[in-house]
Amino acid sequence: MKKYILFFFLPVLLIGLHACDEGRIYENAVVATGEGRTVKMTGRISGVDKWSGDYCVVVAGFDDESDYAIVSKVVPVSESDNDEIRLTMSGITDEVTTVELCVINKLRKRIVSLVAMECTEIADTILMDAGTVDASMYNAIQQKIFNATCTACHGLSTTPGGGLNLLEGHSHADLVNRASTTVDGKMRVMPGNASESVLHLILGTDISSDWRIDHSQMITSSDMQSLIGNWIDDGAQP
Ligand code: HEC
């Protein structure tokens, strides 16, 4: 049955080239079954268009066990940051216990959760007010990686490690197209080239193993390493 629905909606694939359009297949397939609850999300959500093609900002339903979305619907790009976005998604089956505004990858795995809401109560309609959200790729890196793991030494201390300040409002200017203080001839971030960027190398390889601080085990999640790599390869936009 599922296969039949997928084939039925296959022409949708041909309409757009952006990876997010693939999401609409799932969305339509789910709606076509006509069962389950409905989520109505509202919010002022900026930065949706700043993700590289490997990712999609969506409203999605998850169960407790898996990081893979059971249902998802692509959040439209708002014309201006102040526009309120309204999104309705049907087909939220009983197995869904959390509805999230989040970022998923092509496999529909949750990469970054922006707003999460439990929905275990029996209600036909789930109302979700996401509020004002900066959903851009760089803000996700700032919040989930730099603020969580790096700023204690890179900004909050009196002398930032390696002279690199990773605090919000400083990090982008301190990283992009700035010469590395530790590796001769390399940039901290060279837009379009993650494999030549010290930020990517320091987290994904052992180049820092004999520095004062070994960074190689700081980010063990391959999803977070890919997030940094894809952001750089896609132009390192603010
Ligand atoms: C425990 C303190 C500490 C933490 C936590 C830390 N760093 Fe560092 N970092 C340093 C120090 C110190 C240096 C300079 C290394 C040296 O001089 O040997 C450095 C250097 C760097 C450099 C090289 C800068 C350049 O110009 O070449 C990058 C990039 C970097 N860190 C990124 C990060 C990121 C990203 C995180 C979080 C995932 C992080 N660091 C977490 C202390 C830290």
- Which residue numbers in the chain have pLDDT < 50? 1-18, 22-33
Q: Which two tokens stand for residue 165?
A: 């300040």
Which atom of ligand 1 approaches the CA of 219 most closely? 38
Residue 78: per-residue pLDDT? 82
Residue 82: per-residue pLDDT? 77
Residue 33: per-residue pLDDT? 46
CA of 150 to the centre of ligand 1 (A): 7
Report which of 101, 117, 111, 99 is spatially closest to residue 58, judged by C-alpha positions: 101
pLDDT in tens, 160-212: 889 999 999 999 999 999 999 999 999 999 999 999 999 999 999 999 998 98
CA of 212 to the centre of ligand 1 (A): 9
Residue 127: per-residue pLDDT? 94
User: Residues 24, 5: contact at Cβ < 8 Å?
Assistant: no
User: Residues 52, 64: contact at Cβ < 8 Å?
Assistant: no
